[in-house]
Structure 1
Amino acid sequence: MAQQTVVLYPSPGVGHVVPMVHLAKVFLRHGYDVTMVIAEPPAGSPDFRIVDVDRVAASNPAITFHVLRPVPDADLACPGKPPFLLTLQVLPRYNDALEAFLRSIPRRRLHSLVVGMFTTYAVDVAAKLGVPVYAFFASGAATLAVVTQVPALLAGRRAGLKELGDTPLEFLGVPPFPASHLIGELLERPDDEMCKAVVDVWERIADASGVLVNTFESLESPAVQALRDPRCVPGRVLPPVYCVGPLVGDGTGGARQERDETERHECLAWLDAQPEKSVVFLCFGSRGTHPAEQLREIAVGLDRSGHRFLWAVRRPAGTDGLKDLDMVLPEAFLERTKDRGLIVWSWAPQVEVLRHPSTGAFITHCGWNSTLEAITEGVPMLCWPLYAEQLMNKVFVTEDMRVGVEMEGYRAGIVKAEEVEAKVKLVMESEKGREIRGRAVALKKEAMAALQDGGSSQTSFARFLFDAKNVDGPLGK
């Protein structure tokens, strides 16, 4: 088995590469060699989320990294086209280079190819070579269930789903949610180039031999059952779904983009001095920014709440030269809260902060990686979604899992200070907050159990390895 190689081909971006690194470590623990192939963005690419491959590789020496050089004549600065659409359109053009790399590995050593959420056109390469191919869905089973059922919803429609506004949509396996909460690209007209591209790339997931999902079964049981239900996609059998999560890191799996791995962040020492479960942590992901007006509202709300806080702030657009937070935040805010608050620029070691005993709540954008990290550490969430599938995740966290509350106002353009104050106090002080915290602790125990020997995710991964030996391909029939 040590001679067999698994090739992982993640979608572009830190939010996709990092969970794929965590998946790689699972393969390594089972005795496989792992090579991660990363597509280097074309020059001028505005939406390929740049990944520092050298830094990720240095943090993970057991994984081999291979970079696919930019495809020639790929102009991703096309006026009038969304950058993400251009990214989706250029990714299939890396297939020839991927094929050449796969051919360089002796056939009997090549166990399988695992593609990401947006690199699914690479299943054609695997089919051409007779290599077993699997998809890794870095988001949750509920999101997978939704995007799997969207093509049937769009079929025959001439108008976009955006016209439905907040009309509730019902999908098998998930609670009803407003149409406006769908991923933005899916709200366009069905014949819109952007909508078609997203639907096409996700429909290719069904061409894989199976789907590895970054979740654990008890967390999203209704959605997982829906994915196994013939009614989910009438007339088509979906490939097997393997819940192998939660795949989260220890804070070092390539997510540290700005600090030496051996240096302990200053905020952790600050947390050491705070009482247990007393700190509200605010962090909005690698792309989450707020205008100066919103930062001021957050600051006022935190000030009025009276609670301790650790706040990772990204500079507002148009303030690249800003060095002094006092220029953005309310007058004397930093001085007034210096004994109970800490603000850090840009980046904080999120996993380590969530794991710290002093952290009591998490104001988050509801990215799936962040959501899983909070669940794994038993930290309740105050949900403030920004983009992508985060609006849906907010619904799943607050209504299905019931380990969070919604921060209201973001859809109108601004969350007021009064809302920040009220929701922080609700989670940190109230009886409802106590119930949410209790459920968060219970989910943490379930997450830990899923990853233990004999746990649901361990068993699911073992079943995947067994099934992989019996699919058509050089190692199979």
Structure 2
Amino acid sequence: MSNIPVVLVVPLPAQGHVNLFMILSQKLVENGCRVVFVNTEFDHKRVVSSFGEQQQHSTNQAMRLVSVPDGLGADDDRKDPSKLFDGLQNSMPKALEKLIKDMNLKGDDRISFIVADLFMAWALDVGSKFGIKGAIVWPASAAIFALLWSFPSFIDDGTMDSDGVILTTKETILISPCMTEMNTRDFFWFNMRDKIEGKIIFQYVRHCCQSLNLAEWWLCNTTHELEPGALSFLPKLLPIGPLLRSYDTKIGITKAIGQYWEEDLSCMNWLDEQHHGTVLYVAFGSFTQFDQNQFNELALGLALTYRPFLWVIREDSNMEYPHEFKGHKGKIVSWAPQQKVLSHPAIACFVTHCGWNSTIEGLSNGVPFLCWPYFGDQIQNKKYICDELKVGLSFDKDENGVVSCKEVKLKVEQLLSDENIKSRSLELKEKVMNNIVKGGASLENLKRIVKWLKE
């Protein structure tokens, strides 16, 4: 067994992060590694219950799902970043240390390498106590990573203070001559649900960045074609994207492992019945929340398009449908196999919150975007999709800060009649997907890492 590397994988306990790390883990297993996947106990229960029976026999010995406590009480709100980050920083490192000790004692599962989310970069400090090396994976865009990397120099030159408050009067900041300028108002910590939350996230990320120097490799779910400027500014950051699931029918994995909610696969049969290029796919990830008024406008807007739509509405959203919405041409599910949906020929466009995973999945399938960002880096991703890549449009809010049903209808019509956006989307798809075929740059980067691990 000695030449099979055992990789400990540590994602942030949030759906988009767990998803991404599960895909990366699949790739490591396909390349001859064994993976020990660490969730918090709270998330582990959700993942195992949504995956059900399949998990036991299909992930076999190559991937083990294990859990450690997150330091929070049963009733604590895990969407509250101050509580979550506090638990992650104060109690999880000890729990992870114990896990590694126990596994090393058993012998056959000796951890040889750690792959940690940048948001969990302290895991590399834990690993260093055992002489275990590691890699950091940044789950958002390379451009945002470049911004984090620049924190110390921005603080030194007086652009911002140590809480992330901008001190310069300039509206935009240039991180590198080979990147486009960033608007300081769009920085992710200013776009959280409240100011205090933003400050906590800034401080936590800044703290995590201090462990970057412990990483042998920095990895990012992007490609050179998508972000040439940011990647040339950070030559150590290796693109390994697009990270897409492989649905392995040989070992019976048809569902995605790592989901918190069970995927409703009935939407695939429904899509099969729709005409090619007609369906609006509407999905806002695992965090976005609408108030009832905005929810009504979106629902009425979708009905006004008179087009078929597939709308993902999480069970925890507790929204009432407006009565005029009856008789619509859509299908509503609580969670969808997004990658399968986006690759379906019936899909015309993707109405999205612009999370980076969703952005990459949309680009990989050549699907044009209608952008409705909610918070954090999604604001920056929207600008990137619309202004730089020019493969999408964004919704404008009215004087009350609401996207009206008329605006929804207008933008859908505008996007779907724009042949330039469609052709750019398909050209970009080809460039992006070339990275993961034989000899592709991202695939070669991943192989390099595995080869290094095996040596």
* TM-score range normalised by the length of the shorter chain: 0.7 to 0.9
Q: CA deviation at 1:299?
A: 2.7
Q: Distance in 2 between matches of 1:186 and 1:294?
A: 19
Task: Give CA-to-partner distance per residue, 1:88-114, whole Å, 9 cap, x none.
Answer: 222132222212222323499533111
Q: Which residue does 1:218 correspond to in 2?
A: 225
CA 1:70/1:424 → structure 2, altered by over 3 Å: closer, same or farther?
closer
CA 1:101/1:413 → structure 2, altered by over 3 Å: closer, same or farther?
same
Q: Distance in 1 between matches of 2:154 and 2:76?
A: 30
Specify the SS of the correspondent of 1:118. Answer: helix
Q: For 1:52, which of 44, 47, 52 is the aligned residue?
A: 47
1:374–1:381 Cα contact (<8 Å) kept: yes
Q: CA deviation at 1:297?
A: 1.4
1:245 equivalent in alignment to 2:233? no
CA 1:334/1:377 → structure 2, altered by over 3 Å: closer, same or farther?
same
Normalised by the length of structure 1, the TM-score is 0.81
Q: Which residue does 1:98 correspond to in 2?
A: 96
Task: Give CA-to-partner distance per residue, 1:443-462, whole Å, 9 cap, x none.
Answer: 22122211111101111112
Letter in 1 for 2:184: A
2:363–2:428 Cα contact (<8 Å) kept: yes
1:18–1:255 Cα contact (<8 Å) kept: yes
Specify the SS of the correspondent of 2:342. Answer: helix
Q: Which residue does 2:304 correspond to in 1?
A: 304
Q: Which residue does 1:151 correspond to in 2?
A: 152
Specify the SS of the correspondent of 2:443. Answer: helix
Q: Which residue does 1:235 correspond to in 2?
A: none
Q: Which residue does 1:351 correspond to in 2?
A: 339
Which segments of 5 or more consecutive residues in structure 2 lack a partner in the other structure? 248-253
Q: Which residue does 2:127 correspond to in 1?
A: 126
Q: For 2:330, which of 333, 337, 342 is the aligned residue?
A: 342
Q: CA deviation at 1:218?
A: 1.6
Q: CA deviation at 1:33?
A: 1.0
Q: Distance in 1 between matches of 2:241 and 2:110?
A: 26
CA 1:49/1:208 → structure 2, altered by over 3 Å: closer, same or farther?
same
Q: CA deviation at 1:358?
A: 0.5
Q: CA deviation at 1:427?
A: 1.1
CA 1:293/1:54 → structure 2, altered by over 3 Å: closer, same or farther?
closer
1:267–1:342 Cα contact (<8 Å) kept: no
Q: Distance in 2 between matches of 1:460 and 1:78?
A: 40
Letter in 1 for 2:187: L
Task: Give CA-to-partner distance per residue, 1:157-194, whole Å, 9 cap, x none.
Answer: 458546879922322254223222111268969x9555
Q: CA deviation at 1:259?
A: 3.8
Q: Which residue does 1:32 correspond to in 2?
A: 33
Q: CA deviation at 1:296?
A: 2.0
Q: CA deviation at 1:467?
A: 4.6
CA 1:316/1:458 → structure 2, altered by over 3 Å: closer, same or farther?
closer
Q: For 1:370, which of 354, 358, 363 is the aligned residue?
A: 358
Q: How does 1:116-265 map to 2 (within 5 A)?
A: 116-155=117-156, 156=158, 157-158=160-161, 161=165, 167-172=171-176, 173-184=178-189, 194-228=201-235, 240-249=236-245, 250=247, 252-254=255-257, 256-259=259-262, 265=265
Q: Distance in 1 between matches of 2:273 and 2:6?
A: 46
Letter in 2 for 1:114: V
Q: CA deviation at 1:54?
A: 4.8
2:68–2:95 Cα contact (<8 Å) kept: yes
Task: Give CA-to-partner distance per residue, 1:48-99, whole Å, 9 cap, x none.
Answer: 898424545844614111111344xx569899x9921222222132222212
Q: CA deviation at 1:300?
A: 2.9
2:385–2:391 Cα contact (<8 Å) kept: yes
CA 1:32/1:293 → structure 2, altered by over 3 Å: closer, same or farther?
same
Q: CA deviation at 1:398?
A: 1.6
- Report the more deviating stretch, 282-291 or 49-58: 49-58
Q: Distance in 2 between matches of 1:425 and 1:109?
A: 56
CA 1:293/1:23 → structure 2, altered by over 3 Å: closer, same or farther?
same
Q: Distance in 2 between matches of 1:468 and 1:411?
A: 56
* Aligned residues: CA RMSD: 3.3
Q: Which residue does 1:425 correspond to in 2?
A: 413
Q: How does 1:258-273 map to 2 (within 5 A)?
A: 258-259=261-262, 265-273=265-273
CA 1:258/1:40 → structure 2, altered by over 3 Å: closer, same or farther?
closer
Q: Which residue does 2:435 correspond to in 1?
A: 450
CA 1:108/1:37 → structure 2, altered by over 3 Å: closer, same or farther?
closer
Specify the SS of the correspondent of 2:114. Answer: strand
Q: Distance in 2 between matches of 1:166 and 1:382?
A: 30
2:10–2:37 Cα contact (<8 Å) kept: yes
2:19–2:259 Cα contact (<8 Å) kept: no
1:12–1:49 Cα contact (<8 Å) kept: no
Identity %: 26
Letter in 1 for 2:219: L
Normalised by the length of structure 2, the TM-score is 0.85
Aligned length: 432
Letter in 2 for 1:177: M
1:85–1:197 Cα contact (<8 Å) kept: no
Q: Which residue does 1:69 correspond to in 2?
A: 69
Specify the SS of the correspondent of 1:114. Answer: strand
